[in-house]
């Protein structure tokens, strides 16, 4: 009994929100972590300085390298407009899953992230929005309690503040180590978005490589507007599972952004170089009249 | 009597003789009228749904259907719905809302079907939009997990005010086989996986993901279906009464799922 009280108190402390007070630039130490060499698609060796200039898109073949959450935000936000939300939010190892705590520690050390999503408030061309950006370097961007909670809080923040919401998805699906509670985050995030939508909130979902499983089957698929980066793998079931199930090879381009667009699940495919201006346009088109977003 | 292991419960949950949605509908409801089709392109028999009377009152019933014979199994795709099945479920849920009748769902699926056409028609979107629709229904929603609760394909019919689970039913983020193959690259270690996944009815109640365990006869539900129908009927009717009495269906359901995994759900569970 005392033990369970102690555990609950620990949970409360761990989940307690800590909101940063100031709008800043994105901390450089985070951004500097994302660096690449060889293009996995065409094999081209591109100097890192050039990749930074092309927003980490291969200049030879157009391959969009997955980018970390802070790096992504740095490509989009106006300077000095970044304010991170729930930066320290983590969840306990509720299943007492063997080895999970150690793996989390290792992932935190390797990426400088506390979880697989960064949520923030920031401006694009002077227009304020709320962002949730998944980071596939952290447990493949898989959704556990903390990721689901941070996304939900971002939705609620946008709802309260009357701001548009932009989510960049990149996820392998559910966080296995959190079992059924990770599954429940699908319902939690979808329910929050349903409410946000009913209150007139604008939600732009941007699908990036890869977006699969429980994230595809929840918040990633619920945008008022859905964008995708070129060539991203997007689906519910992974290609390997499908091949095993149906016993045949999948066609070229199956579950890629272009395939989804063709099948009616994406409004537009937007190359990274045009992402900021596209989001800016969408924010402008949905601007509430008579409201000050400055 | 020795405690049944999680792996044994997985086997019981999948037992071919276990009562399924169609059995519960004929045992617990009267005047069932099946509603077929998603009104877009297809009828998906992996989800069975319609309108019926429960204790004399109209309700919408929706559940996964696995089928009894091999032929039925094939026709129902072994209870693995495609997007059309979830879109049919959405259609029935909207009607339930329109006609102000409770929704009762029975969950028993290995998961949503991982197939080529299912992907082409938006399996992910179909599940996501079912979740969001169900979360906001302003009528009572009760779910009974009767067999396998496999991943998002199960959850899509389980955003309910009360989630009841049969004693030997299981409910998990993915199958123990899938879990073992991802974790250890060895699906034959599924039994081991079942033990650490916390997927039994009691585990789920402890984690706040289900509300109540419905006891089964010794040896499992297939040993005495009549006794199971009586137990499910009792639990369902009690849960429905309680939810109706509490009112504020959408708000309470929202709060329940909003708290999943966070301190709020712990408070509710106590
Ligand atoms: Zn390249």
Q: Which residue of B has its CA nearest to A155?
A: B258
Are the Cβ atoms of B115 and A242 closer than 8 angstroms?
yes
Q: Which of residues 165 through 184 in chain B touch A, CB cutoff 8 A?
A: 171-174, 178-179, 182-183
**CATH topology classification for B6-257:** 2-enoyl-CoA Hydratase; Chain A, domain 1 (3.90.226)
**What residues contact residue A47 under an 8 Å CB cut-off, 6+ apart?**
none
Averaged pLDDT, B101-123: 97
Residue B8 has pLDDT above 50, yes or no: yes
Neighbours of A17 (CB within 10 A): 12
- What pLDDT was estimated at residue B61? 98
Residue A171 φ/ψ, nearest 5 degrees: -160, 145
DSSP state of A141: G
**Torsion B127-A269-A157-A88 (CA) sign:** positive
Are the Cβ atoms of B132 and A222 closer than 8 angstroms?
yes
Which residues of chain A carry a pLDDT beneath 70?
1-21, 29, 31-36, 290-294
Averaged pLDDT, B221-241: 98
Q: Are B46 and B62 in contact (CB under 8 A)?
A: no
Q: Minimal Cα–Cα distance from A52 to chain B, Å?
A: 33
Q: Are B105 and B144 in contact (CB under 8 A)?
A: yes
Q: Minimal Cα–Cα distance from B118 to chain A, Å?
A: 9
Per-residue pLDDT tens over the stretch B65-87: 999 999 999 999 999 999 999 99
Instruction: Please tell me the distance from the alpha carbon of residue A259 to that of residue B117, in angstroms, as a whole number.
Output: 12
Q: Considering only CB atoms, which chain A residues are within 8 Å of B203?
A: 180
- Can you spell out the DSSP letters for chain B? -PPPPHHHHHHHHT-TTS--HHHHHHHH-EEEEE----SSS---TTEEEEEEEETTEEEEEEEE---SSHHHHHHTGGG---HHHHHHHHHHHHHHHHTT--EEEEEEES-S---HHHHHTTHHHHHHHHHHHHHT-SS-EEEEEEEEEEHHHHHTT---SEEEEETT-EEESS-HHHHHHHHHS-GGGHHHHHHHHT-BHHHHHHHTS--EEE---TT-GGG-HHHHHHHHHHHHHHHHHHHHHH--HHHHHHHHHHTTTSHHHHHHH-
**What residues contact residue B27 under an 8 Å CB cut-off, 6+ apart?**
B19, B225, B229, B233
Q: Minimal Cα–Cα distance from A269 to chain B, Å?
A: 17
Q: How far is the CA of A51 from the centre of ligand 1 (A)?
A: 11
Instruction: Please tell me the distance from the alpha carbon of residue A2 to that of residue A10, in angstroms, as a whole number.
Output: 12
Q: Considering only CB atoms, which chain B residues are within 8 Å of A198?
A: 136
Nearest CB neighbour to B209, from listed A11, A180, A194: A180
Per-residue pLDDT tens over the stretch A100-157: 999 999 999 999 999 999 999 999 999 999 999 999 999 999 999 999 999 999 999 9
Residue B268 has pLDDT above 50, yes or no: no
Any A CB within 8 A of B41 CB: no
- What pLDDT was estimated at residue A8? 55
Q: Which of residues 151 through 190 in chain A touch B, CB cutoff 8 A?
A: 152, 174, 176, 178-188, 190
Any B CB within 8 A of A142 CB: no
Interface confidence, given as ipTM, is 0.96
Question: What strand order describes the sheet that includes A83-85?
Answer: A83-85, A117-124, A127-134, A165-171, A203-211, A225-228, A268-269
- Most A CBs within 10 Å, among B77, B83, B173, to test the A interface: B173
- What pLDDT was estimated at residue B2? 63
Are the Cβ atoms of A190 and B204 closer than 8 angstroms?
no
Q: Considering only CB atoms, which chain B residues are within 8 Å of A195?
A: 136, 254
Residue B265 has pLDDT above 50, yes or no: no
- What pLDDT was estimated at residue A29? 65
Q: Which residue of B has its CA nearest to A89?
A: B262
Q: Strands B141-150 and B212-214, how do they pair?
A: unpaired
Instruction: Please tell me the distance from the alpha carbon of residue B112 to that of residue B97, in angstroms, as a whole number.
Output: 25
Q: Are A149 and A15 in contact (CB under 8 A)?
A: yes
Q: How far is the CA of B197 from the centre of ligand 1 (A)?
A: 40
Distances (CA, A) of B224 to B18, B72, B231: 9, 22, 11
End-to-end CA distance of chain A: 52
Any A CB within 8 A of B78 CB: no
Any A CB within 8 A of B209 CB: yes
Q: Strands B141-150 and B170-172, how do they pair?
A: parallel
Neighbours of A22 (CB within 10 A): 7
Any A CB within 8 A of B75 CB: no
Take residue A200 and report the two structure tokens written for it: 């007139």
Architecture of the A66-288 domain: Alpha-Beta Complex (3.90)
Per-residue pLDDT tens over the stretch B117-161: 999 999 999 999 999 999 999 999 999 999 999 999 999 999 999
Per-residue pLDDT tens over the stretch B171-215: 999 999 999 988 888 989 999 999 999 999 999 999 999 999 999
pLDDT: is B48 or A2 the higher one?
Answer: B48
């Amino acid at each position: 009994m005392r033990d369970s009280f102690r555990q609950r108190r620990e949970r409360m402390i761990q989940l307690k929100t800590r909101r940063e007070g100031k709008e800043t630039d994105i901390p450089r130490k985070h951004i500097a972590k994302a660096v690449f060499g060889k293009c996995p698609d065409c094999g081209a060796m591109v100097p890192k300085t050039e990749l930074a200039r092309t927003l980490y898109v291969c200049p030879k073949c157009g391959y969009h390298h997955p980018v970390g959450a802070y790096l992504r935000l740095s490509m989009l936000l106006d300077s000095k407009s970044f304010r991170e939300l729930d930066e320290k939010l983590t969840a306990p190892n509720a299943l007492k899953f063997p080895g999970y705590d150690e793996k989390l520690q290792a992932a935190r050390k390797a990426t400088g992230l506390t979880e697989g999503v960064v949520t923030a408030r920031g401006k694009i061309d002077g227009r304020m929005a709320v962002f949730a950006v998944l980071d596939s370097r952290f447990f493949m961007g898989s959704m556990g309690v903390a990721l689901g909670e941070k996304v939900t809080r971002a939705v609620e923040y946008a709802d309260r503040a009357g701001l548009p919401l932009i989510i960049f998805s990149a996820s392998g699906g559910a966080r296995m180590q959190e079992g059924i509670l990770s599954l429940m985050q699908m319902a939690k995030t979808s329910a929050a978005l349903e409410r946000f939508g009913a209150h007139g909130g604008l939600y732009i979902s941007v699908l990036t490589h890869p977006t699969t499983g429980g994230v595809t089957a929840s918040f990633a698929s619920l945008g008022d507007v859905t964008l995708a980066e070129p060539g991203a793998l997007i689906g519910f079931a992974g290609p390997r599972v499908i091949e095993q199930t149906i016993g045949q090879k999948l066609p070229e381009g199956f579950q890629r952004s272009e395939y989804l667009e063709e099948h009616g699940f994406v409004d537009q495919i937007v190359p990274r170089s045009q992402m900021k201006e596209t989001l800016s346009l969408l924010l402008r088109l949905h601007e509430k009249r008579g409201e000050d977003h400055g | 009597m020795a405690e049944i292991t999680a792996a044994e419960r997985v086997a019981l949950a999948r037992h071919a003789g276990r009562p399924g949605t169609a059995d519960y509908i004929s045992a617990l409801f009267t005047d069932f009228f099946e509603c077929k089709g998603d009104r877009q392109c297809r009828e998906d028999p992996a989800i069975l749904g319609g309108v019926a009377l429960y204790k004399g009152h109209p309700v919408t019933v929706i559940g996964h259907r696995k089928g009894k014979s091999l032929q039925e199994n094939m026709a129902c795709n072994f209870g693995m719905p495609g997007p059309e099945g979830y879109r049919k479920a959405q259609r029935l849920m909207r009607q339930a809302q329109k006609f102000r009748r409770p929704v009762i769902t029975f969950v028993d699926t290995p998961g949503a079907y991982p197939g080529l056409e299912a992907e082409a028609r938006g399996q992910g979107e179909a599940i996501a939009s079912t979740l969001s629709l169900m979360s906001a229904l302003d009528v009572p929603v009760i779910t009974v997990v009767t067999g396998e609760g496999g991943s998002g394909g199960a959850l899509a019919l389980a955003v309910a005010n009360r989630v009841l689970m049969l004693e030997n039913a299981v409910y998990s983020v993915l199958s123990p086989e899938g879990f073992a193959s991802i974790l250890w690259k060895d699906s034959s270690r599924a039994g081991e996986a079942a033990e650490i996944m916390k997927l039994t009815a009691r585990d789920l109640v402890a984690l706040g993901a289900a509300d109540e365990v419905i006891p089964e006869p010794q040896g499992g539900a297939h040993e005495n279906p009549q006794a199971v129908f009586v137990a499910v009927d009792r639990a369902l009717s009690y849960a429905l009464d309680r939810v109706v009495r509490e009112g504020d269906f959408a708000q309470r359901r929202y709060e329940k799922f909003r708290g999943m995994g966070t301190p709020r759900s712990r408070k509710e569970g106590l």
